[in-house]
Amino acid sequence: MAQHGPRTRRQILRAALKRFANGGYAATSVQQIVDDAKVSKPALYYYFRDKAGLFQALVSEAHDERLQVVQQAAARGRDFRGQLVEILAALFDYFHQNRELTRIAFATAFAAPGEVPPDLLYLDRCQRNLEFIRSLIKRAQADGELGDRFDSRDLAYGFYGQAHLYIAAHLLMPDYRLNRRAAERIVDLFLTGAGAKKKRG
């Protein structure tokens, strides 16, 4: 039995993904994971240092993958609006195909500090994503594609916030479709505003 090592590891990761996504970190026991993966507990501890190590392996992978998805999507966009649409559509598609990983990413981002194994990388990686968006915005402002009425930080927050509330809503209400048309609507709302008829001042 010394040949199917990586397969066992993948089975453990897959079972852990399902359990952590549906039960959270603290409420999921190692026993449940190894039962699902049909391996023994020492098999898990052979591949991962401890429960926290298993979890971190899972989350790190998810964050890196997400950043890659965003960057590749941005590269596909011709102009600024196109970039935003591509990013949003890619994120929607990614999250649609990786619901459980998404669930974990959100849960850890908003979880209480002590709930999840302490790892400063989470915040770093979230901020790196935001900074990437912001850099796109700065460039668009420099190129004149985007006005400079608003600070690039506010704009990045605004866009990213809208995007993630939609994704969160998709988590809570799976029937709400997040496709390319939705992405275009959201980008336009962000770029041109809700459409207020001025009435004050």
Partner DNA sequence: CCATAAACCTACCGAACGGTAGGTAACAAA
Partner DNA sequence: TTTGTTACCTACCGTTCGGTAGGTTTATGG
Q: What is the largest CA-CA distance in the chain?
A: 78
How far is the C-alpha of 90 from the C-alpha of 177, rounded, in Å? 14
Residue 40 burial (CB count, 10 A) = 11
Q: Which of 13, 17, 20, 51 binds DNA (CB under 7 A)?
A: 51
Distance, CA of 14 to chain centre? 18
Instruction: Confirm if 121 and 60 have CB atoms less than 8 A apart.
Output: yes
For DNA, what does the binding mask look like between residues 22 and 41, x meaning CB under 7 A?
------xxxxx------xxx
Does 92 contact a second copy by CB under 8 A? no
Closer CB to a second copy, 5 or 158, in the complex: 158
Instruction: Confirm if 109 and 46 have CB atoms less than 8 A apart.
Output: no
Does 72 contact DNA by CB under 7 A? no
Does 160 contact a second copy by CB under 8 A? yes
Residues 129-158 binding a second copy (CB under 8 A) are 144-150, 154-155, 157-158
For residue 187, give both structure tokens.
């980008």
Does 115 contact DNA by CB under 7 A? no
Choose among 63, 30, 66: nearest CA to 47. Answer: 30
| Binding footprint of DNA on the chain (CB under 7 A) | 1-5, 8-9, 28-32, 39-43, 45-46, 50-52
| Binding footprint of a second copy on the chain (CB under 8 A) | 20-28, 78-82, 103-104, 106-107, 109-116, 123, 126, 144-150, 154-155, 157-166, 168-169, 171-172, 185-186, 189-197, 199-200
